[in-house]
Structure 1
């Protein structure tokens, strides 16, 4: 019987095929290739049989060394995994071969060409499966509308006026500023509704932020970016290894390039860093990043814990977090302030904690917010990871509706991403405690303190937090006069129940459990690439103020 070469463009198609395959008795070997560089559900380097046999070794995602006490097989889910055999039972940890993530881009094209050539000879069946059509925002206008609310909050229906809500924030007593993307066919009716709202309440206004959202998206597109040419840049890090240069911050990048960049940063400081994995996303991607430390060795000091790209469409967050990492890695050799903070704290940094959603924004829908979790009894996809934490879960500022952008899930921590992050935070708390947690977001230019789930209760050290936030905001303003507000999230932005900073404050016992909303207040999520580096520079200035206080 002939073998089959199955060529896939997306992980769900691959998963569905393997489910079908497992239900049949077949003798042929299957080599599955997923063409999307960001997909992590298949491994083209290591062909696997239907019985799950593999000729690969599983590797520790942090040390990249082989694990001999694991099984590499399909396991319970239809994807190759590495499952511990060390007595952990059904709670076995899942790993993907790390070598796959760092080497894949170098071999995908060769394997793709080989499979297509074999298919052309009629030796195998080539079955291409495509991504969903990319969502177009051509001709969409983005408006900022002032909306009154007598109850102190506004519903999603009140805020929409027929558009797609992008952001909202308090602007004064009883008033909200809401940013909405409006389709071309709806513009006339939207403007009429906005005018009627303004007339009815004797105030309010609406302004146009973007005349063509699709054109803005094209300007920031990763198409033709440094993806094909990204490589080491010999600037010499603290460990003497090659280090990527600041040109990394000239553009946005595909997810696979981010993964390689983290590996490059770690290699530049090999004696004081390691690659880490906090867990696994719904679609099977590792939630990965870097751990940095100074004198005293790793895991010996209180933690500083950073999360980026919780919301998929907030691209600026991951690159700003990477800029922070860049400054820490390059500065440890001769910057006394960096040496001080790294010698006194362990940094645990996860630049993209929603990898599935992030990839989806690059392949299909740039404005996607949630993760990509599929649930029973609903066709809606995705949960807001930042409404799924246990503290304040299910309260105002979140939604029980699976179609909502703020869907909180059906129970606390029922998304694999939130569950992994909460467990990781708990482990840092139990080790040496957490000094600072920052959940990085965009866009609003505000430092969010706890709490978000309530507007009437505050952490015991709220005055200390306000003082530090005020100093950071003043330092952020120095390079470019960028103004950041600060205060408890429920008061300065909006109510958000089940968010990460509240959990890190109450359960994680972080001294400072924060969220920071980055630039800007005009371009929104579609921040032009030429603002990446300035955004990183101003945030680094703010953090240097914090390091000096710690």
Structure 2
């Protein structure tokens, strides 16, 4: 049983706040297969959480190291002459610094801060009441294990539910706060600029936009009151908590890049669609599949725009078309602030990962353009992106999405 996972599970069971004082995030870059294998074994032996996997030899991996492990870990890397440097010297220090940029009582769109689940939902309800001709907010399927509700937002200027659908979901991984923040930014742009901006008006007169602003509300709430670095949902399995919902879809379920250990951050769950969160998404996507033009799921971090597949290096039948749309999106995104994204299929662009939502949307729901985006940054802050980057991240992401929709 993994030591860190057990400690976090004990903390979770007693609802205590997990403290990351002195924890470091180290970027390690093995340059050959021998060193990469050695690093992998060391990470497994020391039970170290990996923030970002290396997609191939010669690429970097970001690893979080506890204070009592740091000296030994860094010394071993030095003795093996493996390239490395510290990206974050004290994880808790950044968490503490960003507390001033968190809101629990906002009722209108505010992109200068992160919002907890209740505040996020209050903002959406207020926006819907102020834009009742465009925006509706409703519950998505059944409540989650901890009785939190996924919400679904529809932004439409009419069309009798016949228009092509642009699907955007956010926050499937709890700690990736910038994802739901960007969802809120895009919703604000659509509602506030309709009838004022020609491009926005044209998009909304020809498409319906569907948002799930927090796919994983249980996990997101827990990142505010328990463990800021929590990834999964909050369903207990044995001694440990949570399934990685983005390993729980029926797309090569249990395949590469997943784990059958409930203590793992990439635990796939006991069966495909075992989780209420993924069941709700499955049902809604299937309901809309015949008119869904594009499926987008927003993550962080790494700055990537990815097509299927994650579970295999094989390419989808329409890969050239998906690649061209991704290329258009990335070019428009970069034009806003110069932020550079890599793009391509998931397995080659980031790593092998089975059970993902975008693969399932393409393979099973039949959505011909299904993309997973990894937003800012490349690791300087990682999952702890400061709130002052929400607006620029939202600006560039929305520019990229608009260009992608127009390119299809």
TM-score (norm 1): 0.68
| SS of residue matched to 2:151 | strand
Residue in 2 aligned with 1:22?
Answer: none
Residue in 2 aligned with 1:283?
Answer: 146
Residue in 1 aligned with 2:52?
Answer: 167
| SS of residue matched to 2:210 | strand
Q: Per-residue CA shift, 1:194-232, capped at 9, x if unaligned?
A: 224x43xxxx411111111111011122x684434x244
Residue in 1 aligned with 2:60?
Answer: 177
Q: Which has the larger radius of gyration?
A: 1
Q: Residue 454 in 1 paired to residue 312 in 2?
A: yes
Residue in 2 aligned with 1:294?
Answer: 157
Q: How does 1:455-474 map to 2 (within 5 A)?
A: 455=313, 457-474=314-331
Residue in 2 aligned with 1:501?
Answer: 358
Q: How does 1:178-257 map to 2 (within 5 A)?
A: 178-196=61-79, 198-199=80-81, 204-221=82-99, 225-228=102-105, 230-232=106-108, 244=109, 248-257=110-119
Shift of 1:478: 1.5
Q: Residue 263 in 1 paired to residue 125 in 2?
A: yes
Question: Which moved further from structure 2: 337-346 or 479-488?
Answer: 337-346
Shift of 1:188: 0.8
Q: 2:178 aligns with which of 287, 300, 316?
A: 316
Q: How does 1:35-50 map to 2 (within 5 A)?
A: none
Q: Give distance in 2, aligned partners of 1:216 and 1:161.
A: 27
Shift of 1:474: 1.2
Q: Give distance in 1, aligned partners of 2:320 and 2:94.
A: 41
Shift of 1:148: 5.7
- Contact 1:160-1:180 at 8 Å conserved across structures: no
Q: 2:254 aligns with which of 394, 416, 427?
A: 394
Shift of 1:251: 1.1
Residue in 1 aligned with 2:227?
Answer: 365
Shift of 1:486: 0.3
Q: Give distance in 2, aligned partners of 1:261 and 1:535.
A: 20
Residue in 2 aligned with 1:417?
Answer: 277
Gaps of 5+ in 1: 1-129, 233-243
Q: Give distance in 2, aligned partners of 1:529 and 1:452.
A: 30
Shift of 1:346: 1.5
| CA-based RMSD | 2.1
- Contact 1:311-1:441 at 8 Å conserved across structures: yes
Q: Residue 406 in 1 paired to residue 248 in 2?
A: no
Higher helix share: 2
| SS of residue matched to 1:175 | coil
Q: Give distance in 2, aligned partners of 1:152 and 1:262.
A: 49
Q: How many matched pairs?
A: 392
- Contact 2:23-2:66 at 8 Å conserved across structures: yes
Shift of 1:460: 1.5
- Contact 2:251-2:354 at 8 Å conserved across structures: yes
Shift of 1:461: 1.2
Gaps of 5+ in 2: 1-12
